A and B are shown apart, each in its own frame.
Chain A
Amino acid sequence: MQNRPDPAPAETTSERAWTPAFLAWLIAAISVLGALFFSEVMKLAPCELCWWQRIFMFPLVLILPLGLFPFDPRVVRYALPLALMGWAFALFHWLLVLGVIPESIRPCVRGVPCSEVTFEWLGFINIPLLSVLAFSAIIALLALTHIKASK
C-alpha cells in the first residue's frame, strides 16, 4: 500500500479480466436455466448426448463465481477443461443433427434419439447449435480472461 507509485493499473487489469469471466458465467447460467426449462418445464426428455453436455455445463455455474469473488484469474485453469469437453460433445451432437456424422455411429439408443431435432428456429437454429455457440463463447471469454489477466 505504501510507496507504491501507481496502484491503479494493477486494479484495472484485474477489473478488465473480471468482466469476460463474469460474462462466461452469465452464458453458463443462461444455458443451464434454458436446459432446465426444456427438461423440467416443457418436459422434453434430454437425450444421452444432451446429458453429457449438461455434465460439463452445470459445474461452470458454480466454479466460475468462486473465481469471481474474490477474483482469481486461475479460474480459467479450472473452468476451461470443462468448457472444452462440453464443446466437443456439443459439436459432435450438432454434426449428428446436421447429418454430417452418419446415423450408424450415433451412440444413443436409450429413450430419445439424439439425431431427433426437437426445435428449429429460422430453419437452422436448434438446441445443439445453441450449445455449440454457448460453449464456444465461454471458451473465448475464458481465453480473454487469461490474456487480460496475464498482461
Chain B
Amino acid sequence: MKQKTLFILSGLVLLLAFVAGTLYYTSQKQTESAQAVAGKQDNLNRAYSPTEGPESAKVVIVDFFDPACGTCRDFYPFVKQLMAAHPGQVRVVLRHAPFHDGSVEVVKIMEAARMQGKYFETLAALFASQDNWVQDHRVQPERVWAALAGIGLDLDRVRQDMNSPEITAHIAQDMEDAKALKVTMTPEFFVNGRPMPSFGYEQLQALVEQAVAENYR
C-alpha cells in the first residue's frame, strides 16, 4: 500500500514538474521573442525584399522562409489565402532564410530570376517540385535546374546573374536579420512586427485578423 502511494505520488510530482517547466519555459520564450523584435523593426523590413500585395496594405506579414523547407511550402498557400480573405489589406514581405544544405544556391537562383521579373513563377515552380530536388533535407542542385525548365526563364542569364555581389549582399543581410530576430526555424512569420505566440496556422490567422481589426475598422 505504502509502496503504491509512493509510486503514484512520485509519478504525479514528476508530471507536475514537467508541466510547470513547460509553461514556465514557453512563457519565458514568448517574452524573449517579443523583446527580440521590439527594438529591431529595422531588421524586419528591407526595401530590397520581394513583396506580394498592394503597397498601401496596412497589415504586413514578414515571412522568413527557406525554399527547401517542406513546412514553408505547405504554409505558402495558406498565406495566399489570408491575403485573399482580406483583399487589399495584407501584404507579404518575403525574406530568405536558407538553413538547409545547398539552399543558398537556390535562393541565388530565385534572386536571379527576379531580375527577369519571374520571381514568383520560380518560387511556385520550386515549391511544386520540391520533393524532387530536396532529398533527405539536402538540395540536389542539378534537379533544381530541371525544375525551372518550363517557366520561360533565360537560364544562362540566371547562371550569370546568380553570383552577383548584390544578390550575395542581400542573402547575407537576410541571414543577419534572421539572427538578430532569433529566427532559428522556418517558416517564421511576423505580422506588423509581432511574432507568432506559438507555431501554427491558427496562430498566424489570429495575428493577421487582429492586425486587420486594428487597422481597418
Contacts and interface: CB of A to CB of B under 8 A. Distances in A.
Given A41-B22, A41-B25, A65 B7 contact: yes
Interface residues of A, number: 19
Interface in A19-50: 22, 25-26, 29-30, 33, 36-37, 41-43
Contacts of B10: 26, 29
B4 interface: yes
A63 B8 CA distance: 16
A69 B4 CA distance: 8
Q: Is the interface of B mostly helix, strand, loop or mixed?
A: helix
A15 B6 CA distance: 13
Interface in A125-148: none
Could you say which interface size class chain B belongs to? 10 to 19
B7 A68 contact: yes
B185 interface: yes
Interface of A: 15, 18, 22, 25-26, 29-30, 33, 36-37, 41-43, 65, 68-69, 71, 110-111
26 contacts: A15-B3, A18-B3, A22-B3, A22-B6, A22-B7, A25-B7, A26-B10, A29-B11, A29-B14, A30-B14, A33-B15, A33-B17, A33-B18, A36-B18, A37-B18, A37-B21, A37-B22, A41-B21, A41-B22, A41-B25, A41-B26, A43-B185, A68-B3, A68-B7, A69-B3, A71-B3
